[in-house]
Amino acid sequence: MNKHLVRFLIRNYPFKKGRGSLIAYAMKHVSGMNISADAFGNRFLLDLDNYIDCRMFLEGSYEQHDIMILTRCVEQYDCRYFIDVGANIGVYTVPLAAHSRVRKVYAFEPDPRNYAQLTANIFLNRRHDKVTAYHLALSAEPGLGTLHTASEPNRNESGKFNTGANSLIFNPERHTGSGVEVQTQTVDALIQLEGQNIAVKIDVEGHELSVLRGMKNCLAKNRCVIMVEAFDERFEAVNDYLHESGYKLCGDSQLSKFNYVYVTDERRHIP
C-alpha cells in the first residue's frame, strides 16, 4: 500500500462519517520510518509503527485542536515559558517552541525511544537553542521509578505500539509486566522561575498528581496556564489539589477527552 497516497486520501476526505474507519484501516497497513510535516509546518521524524506517530503522519497532527487552544492561551496570557511534562516525541514542544512569544521550553520525557525522537525533532526544526530536553520523569520527589511499558501491538486495536501509554503507574489492562528504570525529579528542583506567565502541559498517564505536588513552588510563585490529562478516577484529586493551589477549571467542550485547562483567575476563560 502506498502510504503517501493513503495519507493524501485521509487528509482530503471530505466527510466525517467513515473517516474513523478509514484511519483505522490505514493504520494497520502503513509502517516504517518517515520524516513528515505536521499541520503547523513543523517537521517530524516519525515511526509509523508507533500509534501517535502514525496518527500524525496520516492526519497531519495529534491533538491538533488542543495544541491550538494552548497556543491561544499562550497569546492571551502572554506566556513566555512552556513546560511540557510527558513530551513524547515533541507533539506540543515543537509547535510551542516555534511561537515567537515563547522564550524557553522545558521538555520532559522518560521513555528512551520517545526521548531519542524528541531530541531529533527539536534538531530537525532548529529549536535546540530554545528547548531544554530532560531524559527523566517528573514526580513529587527525586529518586528512581519504573516506567511500565504499554501492551504489545497484538493486544490493541490499532496494531501499533503506543509508547504514549507508558507510565509510572502500573495498569494491568494497559501495560506489560516489563518496564525500564528511570530517574525521577521535581519541577521545583529543576526550574526556578518567579513572577512569570507559564504554560504547562501534563500528560503522564495517571501520575499527574505527583507531578503537580513536585511543582508546588512553581504554581505558587508564577501565573500558570495548565493543560492536564486526568482520567475519571483521578480527576477529583487533581481538581482538588489545583483548586487548593489557587487554580480554577475552565471548560472547552472541544478539548480531547480527559484534557482540562486550569488558570489562576476564575474570571479567565479559554480563548
Do both 136 and 11 map to the same domain?
no
Do both 131 and 75 map to the same domain?
yes
Do both 229 and 130 map to the same domain?
yes
Residue 169 lies in a domain: no
- Mean pLDDT, 10 residues at a time, over the chain (271 residues)? 87 90 90 94 96 95 94 96 98 98 98 97 98 98 93 66 87 79 98 97 96 98 96 93 94 76 70 56
Do both 220 and 236 map to the same domain?
yes
Do both 14 and 105 map to the same domain?
no
Residue 204 lies in a domain: yes
Q: Residue 156: its pLDDT value, please?
A: 57
| Structural domain boundaries enclosing 18 | 3-59
Label the pairing between strands 143-150 and 175-185.
antiparallel
Do both 17 and 86 map to the same domain?
no
Give the separation between CA 185 and CA 139, rounded to whole angstroms: 6
Q: Residue 254: its pLDDT value, please?
A: 57
Q: Residue 149: its pLDDT value, please?
A: 86
Closest alpha carbon to 184 in 145, 133, 134, 211? 145
Q: Residue 173: its pLDDT value, please?
A: 75
Do both 35 and 116 map to the same domain?
no
Give the separation between CA 121 and CA 128, rounded to whole angstroms: 9
CATH (domain of 227): 3.40.50.150
Do both 30 and 81 map to the same domain?
no
The helix, strand and coil proportions of the chain, stated in percent and rounded to the nearest 5, come to: 35, 25, 40
Q: Alpha carbon of 64 to those of 68, 115, 146, 205, 268: distances in Å?
A: 6, 21, 30, 19, 22
Q: Residue 268: its pLDDT value, please?
A: 53
Do both 28 and 129 map to the same domain?
no
Q: Could you give phi then psi for residue 136, rounded to 5 degrees? A: -165, 170
Label the pairing between strands 137-138 and 175-185.
parallel
Model confidence, pTM: 0.93
Do both 74 and 49 map to the same domain?
no
Q: Residue 213: its pLDDT value, please?
A: 98
Do both 71 and 55 map to the same domain?
no
Q: Residue 232: its pLDDT value, please?
A: 86
Do both 255 and 211 map to the same domain?
yes
Give the burial string for 237-247 (b: 16+ CB within 10 Å, else e): ebbebbeebeb
